[in-house]
Amino acid sequence: MSITAVLYSHDSVGLGHARRNRALAHALAADLPRLTGQPVRGLLIAGHPDATADSLPEGWDWLVLPGFTSTPQGYASRSLDVSNERLSALRSSTAAAAIKAMDPDLFIADRHPFGVGGELLDSLRWLHSQGTRCVLGMREVLDTPAAARKEWDRIGGASAAAAFYHAVWVYGDPSVYNPISSGEIPAPLATRTRFTGYLSHGRPTDELTDASVRAPKPYVLSMVGGGSDGGRLALAAARAQVPAGHRHIILTGPQMPPADHDRVQRAAAASPDSGSVQVTRLAPHVPQLVREAAAVVSMAGYNSTAEIMATTTPALLVPRATRRAEQPRRARALAAVGAVDTLPAEELTAQALSRWLADAVTRRCDRSAVDLDGLARIGGLAAAELGLGPAARRCARAGSPAERPDPVRGPEWASSQDHVLTAAPPYPSPAHAAARCAATPLSPSAAETRFDSHVR
């Protein structure tokens, strides 16, 4: 026998959803066989072709749906000249065919329970009829509570999602930011929510190749995620003064518009420090670049932040202030516990970056007060969700102070997250975070070693 998992992400903007699922795939491949005695295989359904640049464990593959993209008027086809209705029907039928062919034991959707325009509903009904365990994976910050409520209302309320999803995994530390206390995760889902910790330690990386980005140490790093809206930050970084004796790597991302990328390159070439500045779009080994950097400047997307948090590299987060309040809220919460510095987008200048870089390269950052071991818990949570393996439940409960009856499976099964329902504010005090996260169960080196054999 084997365990089959299907993970879905819609990927209308950036690659954050697919990259989270890719990290989960590596965690499941690393831990589920050990916990259950069964091999695991899987399929990642994504919505952007760039997702497939990232490797998967043996026995896993990608399925890329024709893409939607987000516009000021709403979702629209990324490439195909078809209506939203036809594109949605194509994506829905393709996803449903793949899911039925895989017949998964476990289904995990990232962030959007029903996909774009309800494209997952047919699949979810079929999965429900087959008894498949379904999990909704959520980043720790959604948006302002008011905006989150509107999103839930648009899909019929959180109770509509609760009809299909047996569990919610929040990829964060509730002592840093608690979306239940803030109201971003409503009551129908709160009782089945488990906080995993940030997906930081043990994130998969690809092997270095001759084409990999390298720079003599010491260097500083600026990165803007996928890059679709990172032009302003990358341009300021290109104009910033490079700390004495350092080089500066600027990653513009695969999705930065060509005009913005060219503008960054011209600014770097015109800089007095041009000989020390390297501008490139791609770097498949970003976690290693971050770990070895003297300092890093970044937007505040979930995955970039998670990669930063796994290191001691000083970080300045410049959160995107458009579309959603997610990034400013994340940056503010992490700054409150001393894990990062933050600069509001409206205060971004080359001079501000120059001052921060000059100071940051003289220090390191201790982030041990934050729970960064989410990937070490994913296997145990999945095994417990499937009811497999004697060690699974203990692993899922590790570090939890109490148990609460699960509304789906009844009082005999515990969610192990009693503390998530407390009325704590979404933003903590540094002392509270330090007390909550005084110890972590897996060192960064141990977590990375555990994943080595699963990264290709």
Sheet (strand 167-171) strand order: 60-64, 40-46, 3-8, 106-110, 133-139, 167-171, 193-195
Q: Using one digit for the tens of pLDDT, what is the confidence trace for 161-220?
A: 999 999 999 999 999 999 999 999 999 999 999 999 999 999 887 666 655 666 789 999
Q: What is the DSSP code string of 46-70?
A: ES-GGGGGS---TTEEEEEPPPEEE
Domain stop point among 297, 327, 360: 360
In a domain, 226, yes or no: yes
Q: Which two structure tokens, joined as six digits, stand for 436?
A: 């909550």
In a domain, 365, yes or no: no
The pLDDT of residue 450: 35
The pLDDT of residue 417: 38
Mean pLDDT of 355-376: 97
- Strand intervals (E) in 143-271: 167-171, 193-195, 219-223, 247-251
Please check whether residues 29 and 110 belong to one and the same domain: yes
Domain stop point among 338, 360, 382: 360
pTM for the full predicted model: 0.85
455 has pLDDT over 60: no
Confidence of residue 82 (pLDDT cuts 50, 70, 90): confident
Number of domains in the chain: 2
Confidence of residue 13 (pLDDT cuts 50, 70, 90): low
The pLDDT of residue 216: 82
- Strand intervals (E) in 299-421: 315-317, 341-342, 405-406, 410-414
419 has pLDDT over 80: no
61 CB burial (10 A radius; 0-12, 13-18, 19+): exposed
Please check whether residues 229 and 198 belong to one and the same domain: no
393 has pLDDT over 50: no
Range of the domain at 69: 3-203+372-454
Please check whether residues 148 and 43 belong to one and the same domain: yes
Q: What is the DSSP code string of 170-183?
A: EES-TTT--HHHHT
- Strand intervals (E) in 337-449: 341-342, 405-406, 410-414
Please check whether residues 51 and 143 belong to one and the same domain: yes
Please check whether residues 123 and 190 belong to one and the same domain: yes
Higher pLDDT, 318 or 423: 318
Please check whether residues 45 and 99 belong to one and the same domain: yes
Please check whether residues 188 and 227 belong to one and the same domain: no
Least confident segment among 3-12, 209-218, 238-247, 368-377: 209-218
Cβ neighbors of 209 (< 8 A, separation 6 or more) are none
The pLDDT of residue 55: 87
Mean pLDDT score across all residues of the chain: 85
CATH number for the domain including 135? 3.40.50.2000
Please check whether residues 174 and 258 belong to one and the same domain: no
Q: Using one digit for the tens of pLDDT, what is the confidence trace for 91-129?
A: 999 999 999 999 999 999 999 999 988 999 999 999 999
In a domain, 211, yes or no: no
What would you measure as the largest C-alpha separation in the chain, in angstroms?
A: 67
In a domain, 208, yes or no: no
Place of tokens 């000021």: 72
Please check whether residues 190 and 283 belong to one and the same domain: no
395 has pLDDT over 80: no
Please check whether residues 138 and 243 belong to one and the same domain: no
